[in-house]
Amino acid sequence: MEFQNKTVLITGGASGMGYLCGQCYAKEGAKVVLVDVNREALDKCVAEIAAYPAEVMGVCIDIRDYSKVVEARDMAVERFGSIDILVNCAGGAETRVCNAHGEFHQNPIDIYDFSIDVNLKGAIYFGHAVMAQMAEQKSGVIIHMGSITGEEGGSTNVGYAASKSALMNGVTKSIAQLGAKYNVRSVCIAPGPVLTRPGMASMKTMAGRAADPQEIVDMILYVTSKKGEFINGTTFLIDGGRNVMFNKG
Q: What is the pLDDT of residue 223?
A: 98
133 in a structural domain:
yes
87 in a structural domain:
yes
249 in a structural domain:
no
Mean pLDDT of 78-104: 94
Mean pLDDT of the chain: 95
Least confident range of 77-81, 89-93, 203-207: 203-207
240 in a structural domain:
yes
Ranges of beta strands (E only) in the chain are 7-11, 31-36, 56-60, 85-88, 140-145, 184-191, 235-238
185, 134 Cβ separation under 8 angstroms: no
Question: Buried b vs exposed e over 172-184: b needs ≥16 C-beta within 10 Å?
Answer: bbebbeebeeeeb
Q: Is the pLDDT of residue 120 over 80?
A: yes
Q: What is the pLDDT of residue 48?
A: 97
1 in a structural domain:
no
CB within 8 A of 101, min separation 6: which ones? 95, 156
Least confident range of 34-43, 82-91, 149-158: 149-158
45, 58 Cβ separation under 8 angstroms: yes
CATH number at residue 38: 3.40.50.720
225 in a structural domain:
yes
Percent of the chain with pLDDT over 90: 90
Q: Phi/psi zone of residue 164: left (φ > 0), alpha (ψ -120 to 50 degrees), beta?
A: alpha
Per-residue model confidence as pLDDT tens digits over 36-62: 999 999 999 999 999 999 999 999 999
Percent of the chain with pLDDT over 70: 98
109 three-state secondary structure: coil
Q: What is the pLDDT of residue 40?
A: 98
How many structural domains are present in the chain?
1
Its domain, for residue 123, covers 7-244
Residues in the chain: 249
Q: What is the pLDDT of residue 198?
A: 77
Q: What is the pLDDT of residue 212?
A: 94
pLDDT band with cut points at 50, 70 and 90 for residue 240: very high
Please tell me the pTM assigned to this model: 0.95
Q: Is the pLDDT of residue 147 over 90?
A: yes
Q: Which among 5, 41, 11 has a CA at the least distance from the CA of 26?
A: 5
pLDDT band with cut points at 50, 70 and 90 for residue 199: confident
2 in a structural domain:
no
Q: Is the pLDDT of residue 98 over 60?
A: yes
